[in-house]
Protein backbone atom coordinates (compact mmCIF):
# COMPACT_ATOMS: atom_id res chain seq x y z
CA UNK A 1 0.00 0.00 0.00
CA UNK A 2 2.64 2.54 1.11
CA UNK A 3 0.49 5.70 0.97
CA UNK A 4 0.51 8.95 2.89
CA UNK A 5 -2.00 8.74 5.78
CA UNK A 6 -5.25 10.64 5.16
CA UNK A 7 -5.90 12.85 8.17
CA UNK A 8 -8.93 14.98 7.22
CA UNK A 9 -11.06 13.17 9.81
CA UNK A 10 -9.19 11.78 12.80
CA UNK A 11 -10.63 9.97 15.80
CA UNK A 12 -8.44 9.47 18.87
CA UNK A 13 -9.10 6.79 21.50
CA UNK A 14 -6.72 6.72 24.45
CA UNK A 15 -6.88 4.33 27.36
CA UNK A 16 -6.36 6.72 30.25
CA UNK A 17 -5.76 3.72 32.54
CA UNK A 18 -2.56 2.93 30.61
CA UNK A 19 0.67 3.98 32.28
CA UNK A 20 1.10 7.16 30.21
CA UNK A 21 -2.43 7.52 28.86
CA UNK A 22 -3.52 10.55 30.86
CA UNK A 23 -0.69 12.81 29.64
CA UNK A 24 -0.70 11.85 25.96
CA UNK A 25 -3.94 13.56 24.93
CA UNK A 26 -2.61 17.14 24.93
CA UNK A 27 0.42 16.04 22.88
CA UNK A 28 -1.76 14.30 20.29
CA UNK A 29 -4.19 17.18 19.96
CA UNK A 30 -1.41 19.75 19.66
CA UNK A 31 0.26 17.85 16.83
CA UNK A 32 -2.82 16.75 14.89
CA UNK A 33 -5.08 19.77 15.00
CA UNK A 34 -4.80 22.11 12.02
CA UNK A 35 -6.75 23.85 9.26
CA UNK A 36 -9.21 21.57 7.49
CA UNK A 37 -8.56 18.68 9.90
CA UNK A 38 -11.27 17.38 12.20
CA UNK A 39 -9.89 15.72 15.34
CA UNK A 40 -12.28 14.19 17.87
CA UNK A 41 -10.93 12.68 21.11
CA UNK A 42 -12.66 9.81 22.92
CA UNK A 43 -11.04 8.95 26.28
CA UNK A 44 -11.50 5.33 27.37
CA UNK A 45 -11.37 4.87 31.12
CA UNK A 46 -10.00 1.37 31.37
CA UNK A 47 -11.21 -1.75 29.61
CA UNK A 48 -14.83 -1.19 30.57
CA UNK A 49 -14.97 2.06 28.60
CA UNK A 50 -12.98 0.93 25.57
CA UNK A 51 -15.82 -0.57 23.53
CA UNK A 52 -18.00 2.49 24.05
CA UNK A 53 -15.16 4.82 23.08
CA UNK A 54 -14.45 2.80 19.92
CA UNK A 55 -18.16 2.78 19.03
CA UNK A 56 -18.27 6.56 19.30
CA UNK A 57 -15.01 7.03 17.41
CA UNK A 58 -15.95 4.79 14.49
CA UNK A 59 -19.50 6.05 14.13
CA UNK A 60 -18.18 8.96 12.06
CA UNK A 61 -16.10 6.66 9.80
CA UNK A 62 -12.79 8.46 10.33
CA UNK A 63 -9.92 8.30 7.85
CA UNK A 64 -7.53 7.59 10.72
CA UNK A 65 -8.23 6.00 14.08
CA UNK A 66 -5.44 6.80 16.54
CA UNK A 67 -5.38 4.41 19.51
CA UNK A 68 -3.22 4.81 22.59
CA UNK A 69 -2.80 1.90 24.97
CA UNK A 70 -1.22 -1.51 25.36
CA UNK A 71 -1.42 -4.46 22.99
CA UNK A 72 -4.86 -5.45 24.31
CA UNK A 73 -6.29 -2.01 23.55
CA UNK A 74 -4.62 -1.84 20.13
CA UNK A 75 -5.82 -5.35 19.28
CA UNK A 76 -9.41 -4.51 20.16
CA UNK A 77 -9.30 -1.50 17.85
CA UNK A 78 -7.57 -3.46 15.07
CA UNK A 79 -10.36 -6.03 15.04
CA UNK A 80 -12.88 -3.23 14.58
CA UNK A 81 -11.17 -1.53 11.63
CA UNK A 82 -10.03 -4.66 9.78
CA UNK A 83 -11.13 -4.65 6.13
CA UNK A 84 -12.43 -1.08 6.31
CA UNK A 85 -11.16 2.15 4.81
CA UNK A 86 -10.01 3.42 8.20
CA UNK A 87 -6.27 3.28 8.89
CA UNK A 88 -4.95 2.58 12.38
CA UNK A 89 -2.43 4.82 14.13
CA UNK A 90 -0.65 3.34 17.15
CA UNK A 91 0.53 5.12 20.29
CA UNK A 92 2.33 2.50 22.43
CA UNK A 93 1.32 3.20 26.03
CA UNK A 94 1.42 -0.29 27.53
CA UNK A 95 4.02 -2.43 29.24
CA UNK A 96 5.01 -4.75 26.38
CA UNK A 97 4.05 -2.80 23.21
CA UNK A 98 4.94 -5.79 21.03
CA UNK A 99 2.78 -4.75 18.06
CA UNK A 100 4.52 -1.36 17.96
CA UNK A 101 7.91 -3.10 18.26
CA UNK A 102 7.05 -5.37 15.32
CA UNK A 103 6.12 -2.35 13.20
CA UNK A 104 9.10 -0.23 14.25
CA UNK A 105 6.89 2.41 15.88
CA UNK A 106 8.95 4.35 18.46
CA UNK A 107 7.96 4.09 22.10
CA UNK A 108 8.95 7.73 22.75
CA UNK A 109 5.60 9.51 22.54
CA UNK A 110 6.66 12.63 20.58
CA UNK A 111 8.18 10.43 17.87
CA UNK A 112 5.17 8.10 17.86
CA UNK A 113 2.83 11.08 17.44
CA UNK A 114 4.92 12.47 14.56
CA UNK A 115 4.62 9.08 12.83
CA UNK A 116 0.88 9.66 12.50
CA UNK A 117 1.40 12.41 9.92
CA UNK A 118 4.96 11.78 8.70
CA UNK A 119 4.78 8.00 8.26
CA UNK A 120 3.08 5.92 5.61
CA UNK A 121 0.24 3.39 5.54
CA UNK A 122 1.00 -0.30 4.96
CA UNK A 123 -1.08 -3.47 4.95
CA UNK A 124 -0.44 -6.17 7.57
CA UNK A 125 -2.03 -9.49 8.49
CA UNK A 126 -4.23 -10.39 11.43
CA UNK A 127 -4.28 -13.78 13.08
CA UNK A 128 -7.65 -15.32 13.88
CA UNK A 129 -8.66 -18.03 16.33
CA UNK A 130 -12.11 -19.36 15.44
CA UNK A 131 -12.73 -15.98 13.87
CA UNK A 132 -11.49 -13.84 16.77
CA UNK A 133 -8.65 -11.50 15.78
CA UNK A 134 -5.23 -11.16 17.38
CA UNK A 135 -2.10 -9.22 16.46
CA UNK A 136 0.96 -10.94 17.89
CA UNK A 137 0.73 -14.47 19.29
CA UNK A 138 -1.93 -16.92 20.40
CA UNK A 139 -0.68 -19.59 22.76
CA UNK A 140 -1.62 -22.25 25.28
CA UNK A 141 0.13 -24.00 28.12
CA UNK A 142 2.65 -22.07 30.19
CA UNK A 143 1.67 -18.71 28.67
CA UNK A 144 -1.87 -18.97 30.02
CA UNK A 145 -0.54 -19.51 33.53
CA UNK A 146 1.80 -16.56 33.03
CA UNK A 147 -1.10 -14.35 31.95
CA UNK A 148 -3.07 -15.27 35.07
CA UNK A 149 -0.12 -14.22 37.22
CA UNK A 150 0.62 -11.06 35.23
CA UNK A 151 -1.67 -8.83 37.26
CA UNK A 152 -2.02 -5.07 36.66
CA UNK A 153 -0.39 -4.48 40.04
CA UNK A 154 2.64 -6.59 39.14
CA UNK A 155 3.04 -4.74 35.82
CA UNK A 156 2.79 -1.36 37.53
CA UNK A 157 5.43 -2.32 40.09
CA UNK A 158 7.91 -4.08 37.82
CA UNK A 159 7.20 -2.87 34.27
CA UNK A 160 8.74 -5.24 31.70
CA UNK A 161 10.38 -7.25 34.51
CA UNK A 162 6.88 -8.44 35.41
CA UNK A 163 7.03 -10.91 32.48
CA UNK A 164 10.03 -13.01 33.65
CA UNK A 165 8.79 -12.89 37.25
CA UNK A 166 5.34 -14.17 36.26
CA UNK A 167 6.92 -16.81 34.00
CA UNK A 168 9.08 -18.20 36.79
CA UNK A 169 6.07 -18.44 39.10
CA UNK A 170 3.99 -20.20 36.43
CA UNK A 171 6.77 -22.63 35.49
CA UNK A 172 6.93 -24.03 39.01
CA UNK A 173 3.33 -25.30 38.82
CA UNK A 174 3.05 -26.18 35.11
CA UNK A 175 1.31 -29.41 34.11
CA UNK A 176 2.43 -30.87 30.72
CA UNK A 177 -0.12 -31.63 28.01
CA UNK A 178 -0.47 -33.38 24.63
CA UNK A 179 -1.66 -31.77 21.40
CA UNK A 180 -2.42 -32.66 17.80
CA UNK A 181 -1.59 -30.09 15.10
CA UNK A 182 -3.64 -30.58 11.94
CA UNK A 183 -2.19 -28.63 8.99
CA UNK A 184 -4.09 -27.40 5.94
CA UNK A 185 -2.20 -29.79 3.62
CA UNK A 186 -3.47 -32.80 5.58
CA UNK A 187 -0.29 -33.37 7.59
CA UNK A 188 -0.66 -34.05 11.30
CA UNK A 189 1.77 -33.69 14.21
CA UNK A 190 1.07 -35.70 17.38
CA UNK A 191 3.00 -34.13 20.26
CA UNK A 192 3.23 -35.11 23.93
CA UNK A 193 4.68 -33.79 27.17
CA UNK A 194 4.44 -30.16 26.04
CA UNK A 195 5.25 -26.99 27.90
CA UNK A 196 3.68 -24.55 25.43
CA UNK A 197 2.32 -24.14 21.91
CA UNK A 198 2.46 -20.70 20.27
CA UNK A 199 0.92 -19.55 16.99
CA UNK A 200 2.50 -16.30 15.84
CA UNK A 201 1.00 -13.80 13.43
CA UNK A 202 3.44 -11.00 14.21
CA UNK A 203 7.11 -11.02 15.09
CA UNK A 204 7.29 -10.05 18.77
CA UNK A 205 5.43 -11.03 21.93
CA UNK A 206 5.88 -11.18 25.70
CA UNK A 207 7.67 -7.87 26.05
CA UNK A 208 10.21 -8.24 23.23
CA UNK A 209 10.56 -11.97 22.65
CA UNK A 210 10.71 -13.11 19.02
CA UNK A 211 8.51 -15.79 17.45
CA UNK A 212 11.19 -16.95 15.01
CA UNK A 213 14.07 -15.35 13.10
CA UNK A 214 11.97 -15.24 9.91
CA UNK A 215 8.57 -14.29 11.40
CA UNK A 216 6.85 -11.34 9.76
CA UNK A 217 3.46 -9.70 10.20
CA UNK A 218 2.80 -9.52 6.46
CA UNK A 219 4.12 -12.83 5.10
CA UNK A 220 0.62 -14.42 5.12
CA UNK A 221 1.88 -17.28 7.28
CA UNK A 222 1.52 -18.37 10.88
CA UNK A 223 4.70 -19.39 12.70
CA UNK A 224 3.85 -22.28 15.01
CA UNK A 225 6.16 -23.71 17.62
CA UNK A 226 5.63 -26.34 20.30
CA UNK A 227 8.03 -26.65 23.22
CA UNK A 228 8.52 -30.01 24.95
CA UNK A 229 8.76 -30.00 28.72
CA UNK A 230 12.21 -31.58 28.80
CA UNK A 231 14.68 -30.99 31.60
CA UNK A 232 15.48 -27.85 33.50
CA UNK A 233 18.78 -27.44 31.64
CA UNK A 234 16.85 -27.56 28.34
CA UNK A 235 14.68 -24.68 29.47
CA UNK A 236 17.70 -22.69 30.57
CA UNK A 237 19.21 -23.07 27.11
CA UNK A 238 15.87 -22.23 25.50
CA UNK A 239 15.48 -19.08 27.56
CA UNK A 240 18.69 -17.71 26.05
CA UNK A 241 17.16 -18.01 22.58
CA UNK A 242 13.80 -16.34 23.23
CA UNK A 243 14.91 -12.80 22.34
CA UNK A 244 16.17 -13.76 18.88
CA UNK A 245 13.61 -16.44 18.06
CA UNK A 246 16.30 -19.07 17.51
CA UNK A 247 14.51 -21.29 20.03
CA UNK A 248 12.72 -22.81 17.00
CA UNK A 249 16.04 -24.47 16.11
CA UNK A 250 16.33 -26.18 19.52
CA UNK A 251 16.00 -29.98 19.67
CA UNK A 252 13.12 -29.66 22.15
CA UNK A 253 11.08 -27.40 19.84
CA UNK A 254 8.88 -28.34 16.88
CA UNK A 255 8.39 -25.52 14.34
CA UNK A 256 6.13 -25.26 11.28
CA UNK A 257 4.64 -22.46 9.19
CA UNK A 258 1.13 -22.62 7.79
CA UNK A 259 -1.76 -20.48 6.60
CA UNK A 260 -4.22 -22.48 8.66
CA UNK A 261 -3.88 -24.95 11.51
CA UNK A 262 -6.29 -26.75 13.81
CA UNK A 263 -5.07 -27.52 17.31
CA UNK A 264 -6.67 -30.31 19.34
CA UNK A 265 -5.87 -31.29 22.95
CA UNK A 266 -7.03 -34.27 25.00
CA UNK A 267 -8.99 -31.97 27.27
CA UNK A 268 -10.06 -28.37 26.55
CA UNK A 269 -7.28 -25.89 27.27
CA UNK A 270 -7.54 -22.11 27.41
CA UNK A 271 -5.87 -20.03 24.69
CA UNK A 272 -4.14 -16.72 25.36
CA UNK A 273 -4.57 -14.08 22.63
CA UNK A 274 -2.10 -11.20 23.09
CA UNK A 275 -2.40 -11.36 26.86
CA UNK A 276 -6.14 -12.07 27.02
CA UNK A 277 -7.51 -15.55 27.70
CA UNK A 278 -10.21 -15.58 25.06
CA UNK A 279 -10.52 -19.02 23.40
CA UNK A 280 -10.46 -22.74 24.17
CA UNK A 281 -9.19 -25.80 22.33
CA UNK A 282 -10.02 -27.39 19.98
CA UNK A 283 -9.41 -24.25 17.95
CA UNK A 284 -8.68 -23.26 14.36
CA UNK A 285 -5.98 -20.65 13.67
CA UNK A 286 -5.90 -18.77 10.36
CA UNK A 287 -4.19 -15.83 8.66
CA UNK A 288 -6.41 -12.93 7.64
CA UNK A 289 -4.24 -11.51 4.85
CA UNK A 290 -3.67 -7.77 4.46
CA UNK A 291 -6.56 -7.18 6.85
CA UNK A 292 -5.29 -4.02 8.48
CA UNK A 293 -4.10 -0.63 7.22
CA UNK A 294 -1.65 0.79 9.77
CA UNK A 295 0.60 3.85 9.90
CA UNK A 296 4.30 3.06 10.38
CA UNK A 297 7.47 5.19 10.26
CA UNK A 298 8.95 5.65 6.82
CA UNK A 299 12.08 3.84 7.93
CA UNK A 300 10.18 0.78 9.15
CA UNK A 301 11.06 -2.51 7.51
CA UNK A 302 8.13 -4.33 9.09
CA UNK A 303 5.98 -4.53 5.97
CA UNK A 304 8.48 -5.92 3.48
CA UNK A 305 5.73 -7.94 1.72
CA UNK A 306 3.09 -5.23 2.05
CA UNK A 307 0.12 -5.87 -0.21
CA UNK A 308 1.60 -8.98 -1.82
CA UNK A 309 -0.58 -12.01 -2.44
CA UNK A 310 1.92 -14.18 -0.60
CA UNK A 311 2.86 -17.84 -0.96
Block mean pLDDT (10 aa), the chain, length 311: 79 78 76 83 82 94 94 93 96 90 92 92 96 96 82 76 77 87 92 94 91 94 93 80 92 95 96 91 97 92 60 52
Model confidence over 112-149: pLDDT tens digits?
999 998 999 999 999 999 999 999 999 999 888 887 87
What count of Cα atoms within 13 Å lies in the side-chain half-sphere of residue 121?
Answer: 20
Active site residues: 276
Please say whether the beta carbons of 69 and 135 come within 8 A: no
Peptide bond into 146 cis (omega under 30): no
First-residue to last-residue Cα distance in the chain: 18
pLDDT in tens, 192-221: 999 999 999 999 988 889 999 999 999 999
- Tell me the domains of the chain and their CATH numbers: 9-126+289-296 (3.40.50.10330), 132-288 (2.60.200.40)
Answer yes or no: are the C-beta atoms of 137 and 274 closer than 8 Å. yes
CA 221/CA 124 separation, integer angstroms: 11
How much is the pTM?
0.88
Amino acid sequence: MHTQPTTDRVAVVVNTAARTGARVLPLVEQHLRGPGREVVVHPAHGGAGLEAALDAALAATPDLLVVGGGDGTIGCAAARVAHTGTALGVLPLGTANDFARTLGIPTALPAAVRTLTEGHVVDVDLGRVDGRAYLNVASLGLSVAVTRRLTPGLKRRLGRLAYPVATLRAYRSHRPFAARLELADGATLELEDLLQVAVGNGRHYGGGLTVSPTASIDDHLLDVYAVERGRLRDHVSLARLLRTGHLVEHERVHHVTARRIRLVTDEPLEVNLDGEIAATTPATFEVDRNALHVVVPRGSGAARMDGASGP
